[in-house]
Amino acid sequence: MMGCQAAPAQLFYDFCLDDHVPADHLLRGIDRHLELDSVRAQLKPFYST
C-alpha cells in the first residue's frame, strides 16, 4: 500500500554521551571547571525519564 511503512521507525534511542566521549576529551576538562547545577535545575522539568 502506498504511503505505509512495513515496520514503524524507532522514535527514541538509548544513548549515553559518557559512553561516546573519550576520558581525555577537551570538553571533559572544561566540564570539571564549570558550575552548571543551576542550569541543570532549571532544565530538569524537560528531562526524559
In this predicted model, what pLDDT tens digit does every residue of 1-49 receive, in sequence order? 566 667 667 777 788 888 888 999 998 888 888 898 999 899 999 988 7
The pLDDT of residue 1 is 55
The pLDDT of residue 5 is 64
pTM, to two decimals: 0.40
47 is written with which cell numbers? 528531562
1-37 as b/e: b if 16+ CB within 10 A:
eeeeeeeeeeeeeeeeeeeeeeeeeeeeeeeeeeeee
**CA angle, corner 19, sides to 39 and 44, nearest 5?**
20
Query: Which amino acid makes up residue 12?
Result: F
The pLDDT of residue 13 is 76
The pLDDT of residue 2 is 63
For residue 26, the number of C-alpha atoms closer than 13 Å in the C-beta half-sphere is 0
